[in-house]
Amino acid sequence: MAVGIFDSGLGGLTVLQAAEARLPELPFVYLADSAHAPYGVRTADDIFDLTCAAVTRLFEAGCNLVILACNTASAAALRRMQESWVPSDKRVLGVFVPLIEALTERQWGDNSPPREVNVKHVALFATPATVASRAFQRELAFRAIGVDVEAQACGGVVDAIEDGDMILAEALVRSHVEALQRKMPEPDAAILGCTHYPLMQSSFQAALGEEVRVFSQAALVADSLADYLDRHPDMLGTGERCFLTTGDPRRVSDRATQFLRRQIVFQSA
């Protein structure tokens, strides 16, 4: 049995790590589309085609359930995939909904009508493609009313993280937070709408100030996955744990080992 986790690069390893901690007996197949990363500057059609190709590979690896641990893919491709592409015996889930459920203080899977919530002013930090899709605002509107969302496209942050240049990444985070605060000076909460960004969570928190609650996805997605599998145990596949990449396996393995601070060995997808 195995569950697939997909990201355009290595940011989804933050979700993988949390999922392994939450579900230690469950094997995961991780696929990084490193040859085509980052997705955040691509068109919606391009993101859809690349995401479908990657998810197909995970289905072939024995995964009946795939988590898109990539906000850009979740924003630009997921709905279209679910409506017209995903086979009836498979499931593909994104990472936005668990985050929004936590922000609006809902139980997992609560699809009751939208209602007023305590948070009124939310800052969203995400890739340009995720911001352009307005997927976060659309999903939030299904669950909450009266929430003002100000989105900031954080160009360059993913590239800096993937390149291992954390000094540049930190400088870019400060710059993007300052740009957001010029539009929304006092947010109640901030959403890190990219699975790379938990690696910079302390930098976001420092720039925003301790009074702003910062929501990061990894643990929330892991908890939501555990709840989903309790309700849908038939979605466990037959695959075995492995790490796949469309890029150079040696280079990706080295970078992943630095990210997670443990030995990770990728193989060609």
DSSP 108-158: TT--PPPEE-S--EEEEEE-HHHHHHTHHHHHHHTTEES-EEEEEE-TTHH
Residue 108 has pLDDT above 80, yes or no: no
Which are the catalytic amino acids?
70, 194
Question: In the predicted model, what is the mean pLDDT of residues 74-97?
Answer: 94
* Chain centre distance of CA 35: 18
The model's confidence at residue 106, banded by pLDDT at 50, 70 and 90, is confident
List of residues 6+ apart from 24 with CB closer than 8 A: none
This prediction has a pTM of 0.88
User: Could you check whether the bond before residue 233 is cis, i.e. omega within 30 degrees of 0?
Assistant: no
CA–CA distance, 76 with 133 (Å, rounded to integer): 6
Which domains are seen in the chain, by residue range?
A: 3-94+219-268 (3.40.50.1860), 97-216 (3.40.50.1860)
Contact in structure between 104 and 78 (CB atoms under 8 Å): no
pLDDT value, residue 235: 87
Summary mean pLDDT of the chain: 93
Contact in structure between 147 and 117 (CB atoms under 8 Å): yes
Question: Using alpha carbons only, what angle is made at residue 37 by residues 170 and 139, rounded to the nearest 5 degrees?
Answer: 80
Residues in binding site for substrate? 7-8, 39-40, 71-72, 195-196
Phi, psi dihedral angles at 95 (to 5 degrees): -115, -5
Sign of CA dihedral 55, 58, 60, 65: negative
